[in-house]
Chain A
């Protein structure tokens, strides 16, 4: 690496030396000398650049002129020896042709000495090499203006701290040792060894035995003189004297009197009390009763907590209504000064008066609760409110209502007076309209659900009509007069006698049903015919009101032939074809029964029988109830809505088979159907080619269907079989066609 670099530098050097004109002649001379010397020294000028000391560390290398100088800056104290070293090296560095080539870097720097020389030549003062150290150890900064306080040595400080700490610790330890200078237990005791200890224990044992012996001896002496019994008595007496019921007088028992079980001994103990309490008195308690009370209290509190927040608690409401203070969130209520309450609870031993008073109070309370002979306790609590339900619950289901027996008609006609025709003036033409409140609205308002009402209505109508007929006979003359009057009576008035019609549910049903095929066949329906006849008799003049009145269309009974009941079979279902002899008969029957499907039958043929079954006198308009009819609405007084409730047909499952056929009647698959409809919709059919293609396809399909599955299209098999039959052989000779044909 070195060689390459140096080659480069040599070039540079040449260049530089050429350009260096303004240098002092003297210096140049000197340098030339140097060069000369170098050349002398070195054998080959090419290898010259490769420094001899390239293997040396760089600090005393050729190029380190600047480096050495910088070193000398760093520690100017030993600049002398360095400079000496430099001088030693300078001989090597002098090999370099110019100072510019001195460093491996492009920098050139003169040493201090050289610089000083230069400065002297330039008339400048020499470099201030040594920085003057201030006497007080403070260091001046670069410009010599400010003094710096030397930074504290942290490591020294830390070491000092550590030392000081250790010293302190030692001192403290010493002090403690001085303080605790006592003889240890082991040091002071004498029985250091086992033998000493054994001896000691034996001594103790001996002393004990002697003492026991002495006591026994004394006891014996007492027995002899009868002192023992005396002593025992004495002791008991003294104890009794010390502890009598009187001693317990005034001591408080912290339980209610009732809490103490009767007829049983209860052991009471002195309750624990605070040592520091000033006004503490001794209280007797029973541990079990205390536990019970605590348990009860806990339960109560838990109950309260479980109840939670009840904003509309009834008890609370009641309390507020009575003027008591209402407690909010009472579960958080704590007894204030519960201790005081506890302290006053219970009773005092020997305080008979208080006990009696308590007992009396109890009795009074019980009496009040039980009430007097004329008192009855009644709770103000109302039955709990419940949300009303739409459905019966089980309890309600079980309740059976007593069925009230209906007596006669419940509904009475509100003030229906038969119209007195006499009251009317002749000019008002009372006969012109039927004023017996039989209005068409009412007629068509008659619903099948209100059959009962209808019968009532019909009865009333019939009565009125009969009355009218009777009256008309009487007032025939009047009628004539009326007829004379300018206003022409419509001709129907007279003719209506016969064509009057009565509507009731039964009649309507019969008519809409059409002819009942089997009706009266059994010959047991004569009475019904009678009824109908009767009705026909009863029918009376019903003047034709405007035909446009409502959506109700009238049926002119007379103009139509009444249903011929006897003719039964004619109108209804087809007669069942008789199962005659032969397959044809059977097939016909099957077809009629629907066992067989007629080939090429219409997709949804509407049987003739169905047409026969539908009502002839039925039109859709009949059922519209005149919803958008002003007349009807006015009559009903504004509350509109259908008179029969809307019933959803839950069980309506229409059997729909959606099929499309094309113009030729061929069934179409959905795809084709769509195409067909689409063509129709857009009014633009397929092209000619497409149409031909489709026709061809259809024809092909037809052929395919017609094709025999057992034979070829040309009937080869049949021919073969025929041939075999002719030749009476199980084979056929296949040979030349012509010869065979000739044969």
Chain B
């Protein structure tokens, strides 16, 4: 289990618990559940890397305590 922090820097900052073998899409659904934003409107980024939905967190090397940028589309 790992916990990532997602911040949109507009007032929303959530910590989400997830498994390393979850996909980014799963993470988005979890975030959507916590923030109330639709998951298909969420974009997750780290610097200029936009995380794609079908790829696992472990493949993106997202570890416990990481900060992800939360954008909307």
Contacts and interface: CB of A to CB of B under 8 A. Distances in A.
Interface string B8-44: 0001111111111010001001101111111000000
A311 to B, nearest CB: 82
Interface in A183-239: none
Nearest to B22: A124
Contacts of A143: 20, 58
A105 B13 CA distance: 9
Contacts of A144: 20
A610 to B, nearest CB: 113
B19 A127 contact: yes
B14 A109 contact: yes
Interface in A37-91: 66, 69-70, 73
A562 interface: no
A73 B1 contact: yes
Contacts of A112: 1, 17
Given A66-B15, A109-B14, A115-B17, A124 B26 contact: yes
B3 A142 contact: no
Contacts of B16: 109-110, 115
A199 to B, nearest CB: 94
A22 interface: yes
28 contacts: A12-B11, A19-B36, A20-B36, A22-B36, A22-B37, A66-B15, A73-B1, A99-B34, A100-B35, A105-B13, A106-B12, A107-B5, A108-B13, A108-B35, A109-B3, A109-B14, A110-B17, A112-B1, A115-B30, A118-B30, A122-B29, A127-B1, A127-B19, A128-B1, A142-B20, A142-B63, A143-B58, A144-B20
A119 interface: yes
Given A22-B32, A108-B15, A127-B1, 8 more contacts: A19-B36, A73-B1, A73-B17, A73-B64, A106-B12, A109-B16, A118-B30, A124-B26
A696 to B, nearest CB: 96
Interface residues of B, number: 28
A150 B12 CA distance: 39
A281 B33 CA distance: 114
A22 B38 contact: yes
A127 B64 CA distance: 13
A21 interface: yes
A366 interface: no
A436 B55 CA distance: 140
Given A19-B36, A99-B34, A115-B17, A122 B26 contact: yes
B58 A21 contact: no
B24 to A, nearest CB: 13
Contacts of B37: 22
Contacts of A12: 11
A462 B52 CA distance: 143
B13 A119 contact: no
A125 interface: yes
B50 interface: no
Interface string A117-148: 01101101101110000000000001110000
Nearest to B5: A107
A655 B37 CA distance: 118
Interface in A484-527: none
Contacts of B12: 106
A34 to B, nearest CB: 16
Contacts of A22: 32, 36-38
B65 to A, nearest CB: 9
Contact of A73 (B3, B13, B33, B34): B3
A23 interface: yes
Interface in B52-67: 58, 63-64
A142 B2 CA distance: 8
